[in-house]
A and B are shown apart, each in its own frame.
Chain A
Amino acid sequence: MNLDIALLLGQDGLTNGAIYALLALALVLVFAVTRVIFVPQGEFVAYGALTLASLQLGKVPGTAWLLLGAGVVVAIVDTTVALRERRSRRLPAILGWNLVLPLVLFAASWWLAPRQPPLWVQTLLALALVIPLGPMVYRLAFQPLANASVLVLLIVSVAVHFAMLGLGLVFFGAEGSRTPAFTDARFQAGTMTVSGQSLFVIGASALLIVALYLFFEKTLYGKALRATAVNRLGARLVGISTTLAGKLTFTVAAAIGAASGILVAPITTIYYDSGFLVGLKGFVGAIIGGLVSYPLAAAGAVLVGMLESFSSFYASAFKEVIVFTLIIPVLLWRSLRSHHLEEEEDE
């Protein structure tokens, strides 16, 4: 190992670490606000990447159909509830978000896909198709159980993961896809070549992290989410709707997932089931942050990326073993430091 190799491995680790960091932040956010350990986070990564790939092949992506289907189901459920509670004033909003929006997006992808629009239009369309799935998943799977224990929510989460995995296979097939790079640029820094795509990934991740920070610090909705995370009951007492908080959280999580997928797709081949492992590595990062601390989670995720990169050089057969073994000392250290890790059973 010389300095060149170390620098290249570092660059590789940082690029992957940036993606893991985004996912770790999303996992921490979802857990803090809704107490859901969001296993399907990885599926949003795969959906984002593969939706973009289908658009590039000029096909209407399967996620467009999924969006329509999920929208119809949510609309039926919500309309029934609204009518039962005699709140027909809610109806326009319900139908608008769950029927009109998916229809518009579906029509847009149906019209745009064969016309091969520029890459940024495809990217935006892919994001627009995947992100609304987040709140719909929350509405259908988690909202009816919002007060259940962490364990029940985890079980539901695993179920959603398998459902989305199966749908992914139906929509995108068993084979993977790779999308073209956003930039082919290469920079010479001393003896080392830095690929533009790596810089793009790191830059975009950093930008997203800053955007998240501003969202939580400066906007009313962001503050509402933080308040819910700190104290659900207190937040409800001051008039924050936990349902809205949940939906908003899942929207943000889906957005982060889809964006990570689109960022990672040019670097590697993404399969319908690739998301899980990527998400799991983000989860290791989030665990290092104790599922509460954003900076620690992000740092932990970058550490995972680095560890992965260097262990693939030294002992490629044991790479995953090394990465996932990292979680044991972290958990040990955490359990020694704090004696109260039992979940609150009084809910």
Chain B
Amino acid sequence: MHTRLLAAAAILAALGAAVPVHAQIKVGVTVSATGPAASLGIPERNTFAFMPTTIAGQQVQYIVLDDASDTTRARQNTEKFVNEDKVDVIIGSTTTPNSLAMIEVAARSRTPMISMAASARIVEPMDDVRRWVFKTPQSDALMASAITQHMSDNGVKTLAYIGFNDAYGEGWAGEINKFGELRKIKIVGSERFNRTDTSVTGQILKILATNPDAVLIGASGTPAALPQATLVERGYKGRIYQTHGVANADFLRVGGKNVEGTLLPAGPILVAEQLPESNPSRKVALEYKKLYEAKHGPGSLSTFGGHAWDTVLILQAAAPEALKKAKPGTPEFRAALRDAIEGIRDLRATHGVFNMSPQDHNGLDQRARVMVRIDKGQWKLAQ
């Protein structure tokens, strides 16, 4: 009898402990920390390790899960967030396919979601589902317009394209066709290769036969070094452009001498120290860099972690507004948070300045990209 009483008391105590004294903001985070997108997902996961634990005086709890770059897992994580954890906001995932798999769950449960993936399709076209979805990285279109502008400023008339044989490469092929036409740049070749290919000699020979003024490589991470190495080996002398997908230290390590002189568009965080004092992202980016490198060593910063940091800057800006209207953990709070994010104006972040609106759930403008050149194994701001 005595033990039974004790057990009952223990259960009651446990239940009591489970009910938080103060309401706290719960953030469900899913990142691709393993699998093919791991080089993007790992810096993002690392960033959540030192996120602020209080926002506007409220405790914040981050529940960070790995989705292994797998769309099914990303969706399962999201279902868990909304059904079991009852989160107030979902952050993730790292890649476009994963994020697209999640938006339906976010909208159904009426939970705001902030993606860290690039494609414009995550927030466009605006509809009832995407009302709940925001994203921090720049869209390909913004970056493609920067590249084509730089090309036409530097007298490039003909361009050959080689990109991944997947959504990333196809997306860039589409954007570059569109913006190339606007700038009167003729696309003379369009080739594809796979992330795992051991040789791209065939594609490069075909590109060289058309003798283009510039070559754009539409690939991300270290695999993007292979076409460039082959171009250099075959004695190509024109300009070589890469996309912002290569902006990490591993690309420089693997590319070595072959990637000298490469031009690419990137978020301002990549060259934070070199930005003029007047640049709105400089201060924020340097603060983030200091925090990240204090934990992971000098030179460890990756721009992808910046996208994760920006999601929380958005939360910090929007949460006080939402807290005035409702308590965390309620549907009203989630709706208020969504409205508050949509109302963000002039938020200075590591990758640019956010101006959200009901039509634009990305909110970045030209301030979100700079042209960068690789010079002696370093990123240098190009003029």
Contact = CB atoms under 8 A, between A and B. Distances in A.
A177 B201 contact: no
A268 B199 contact: yes
B203 A176 contact: no
A43 interface: no
A205 interface: no
A278 B198 CA distance: 8
A175 B198 contact: no
Interface in B235-259: 250, 253-254, 256
Overall SS of chain A's interface = helix
A20 to B, nearest CB: 10
Contacts of A310: 202
Interface string A310-324: 111110110110000
A314 to B, nearest CB: 8
B209 A5 contact: yes
A316 B202 contact: yes
Contacts of B38: 169, 173-174
A312 B222 contact: no
Nearest to B165: A317
Given A8-B205, A12-B201, A176-B223, A312 B193 contact: yes
Interface stretch (A23-31, A78-86, A145-153, A269-277): A269-277
B92 interface: no
Interface string A3-47: 001001100100110010000000000000000000000000000
Interface residues of B, number: 33
Contact of B199 (A169, A176, A309): A309
B323 interface: no
A178 interface: yes
A269 B201 contact: no
Interface in A262-319: 264, 267-269, 271, 273-274, 277-278, 308-314, 316-317, 319
A312 B206 CA distance: 9
5 contacts: A19-B198, A268-B197, A268-B226, A316-B165, A319-B197
Interface of B: 34-36, 38-39, 42, 162, 165, 191-194, 196-203, 205-206, 209, 221-223, 225-226, 233, 250, 253-254, 256
Question: Lowest 4 A-B CB distances belong to which pairs?
Answer: A312-B202, A174-B38, A313-B202, A175-B250
